Structure 1
Amino acid sequence: MKTLPKERRYETLSYLPPLTDAQIERQIDYILQMGYIPAIEFNETSDPEVYYWTMWKLPLFNASTPQEVLSEVQACRSEYSNCFIRVVGFDNVKQCQILSFIVHKPGASTYRY
């Protein structure tokens, strides 16, 4: 058995290869099905010491389809292509962030929309 090489990991699902459009859409669909409120955040770095990311617009309270969220991800990506971009899901009952995953890394051309 061999130890994996030390590598920087970025939040939930980071141990997997970059997500395809269909996989991102399914994750967002899960957020919506669970009744969580999706939001998009961006930041220049993904350091674990950075607790606060800048929110892209307001949370998407009225989003009912993954495409609505993906279109906002694309808009954020167009304006802040030099930043990490993640989708988060908020639980309005527990009043906390339940999940998050990165959908764009600066300089990575593997994330398509």
Structure 2
Amino acid sequence: MSEVIDYKSRLSDPGSRKFETFSYLPSLDQDQIRKQVEYIVKKGWNPAVEHTEPEFLMSNYWYMWKLPMFGETDVDRILAEAEACHKANPNNHVRLIGYNNFNQSQGTAMVIYRGKTV
């Protein structure tokens, strides 16, 4: 059996905190982010962008960047909105969400830009 690893995520160290599925992996590059957006579009999910300050990422409230992009299928437009959110809030974490309107839940959520931690 393989060894279980402690990721040493602590409230006292904002830079160590883990959140969302992909935060335990190396950061996604632009091509990998594009593939995730393509997956969201392929599944017919509605993309949305949210952001929050790093010190508040563990709270339940993230700020919505505009409204969810209901029915949007243009990958470049979705990526442009995520980039615009990041540029407007450079110190915040920015996450991309794919809302599954059939299950009325999030089909996926991932942080694609990490803000500066103290």
TM-score normalised by L of structure 1 = 0.84
Provide the C-alpha distance between the structure 2 equivalents of 1:60 and 1:78, rounded to a whole number of angstroms: 19
Provide the C-alpha distance between the structure 2 equivalents of 1:83 and 1:66, rounded to a whole number of angstroms: 22
* Aligned: 1:46 with 2:48: no
**Structure 1 residue 66, shift from structure 2 partner:** 1.7
Higher percent of residues as helix = 2
Match of 1:104 among 102, 108, 113: 113
% identical aligned pairs:
35
Provide the C-alpha distance between the structure 2 equivalents of 1:53 and 1:2, rounded to a whole number of angstroms: 31
Aligned length in residues: 106
**Structure 1 residue 2, shift from structure 2 partner:** 7.4
Residues 5-20 of structure 1 correspond to what in structure 2 (within 5 A)?
5-7=7-9, 8-20=17-29
What value does the CA root-mean-square deviation take over the aligned residues?
1.7
**Structure 1 residue 65, shift from structure 2 partner:** 2.4
Structure of greater Rg: 2
Provide the C-alpha distance between the structure 2 equivalents of 1:29 and 1:65, rounded to a whole number of angstroms: 9
**Structure 1 residue 74, shift from structure 2 partner:** 0.9
* Aligned: 1:90 with 2:92: no
* Uncovered stretches (5+) of structure 2, i.e. residues with no partner: 10-16
- Encode CA deviations 1:54-104: one digit per residue, 9 max, x unaligned: 110011114212211110011101111111110001011221212100011
* Uncovered stretches (5+) of structure 1, i.e. residues with no partner: 109-113
TM-score normalised by L of structure 2 = 0.81
CA 91–83 in structure 1, closer or farther in 2 if over 3 Å, else same: same
Provide the C-alpha distance between the structure 1 equivalents of 2:74 and 2:61, rounded to a whole number of angstroms: 26
Off by >6 Å, runs of 4+ in structure 1:
none
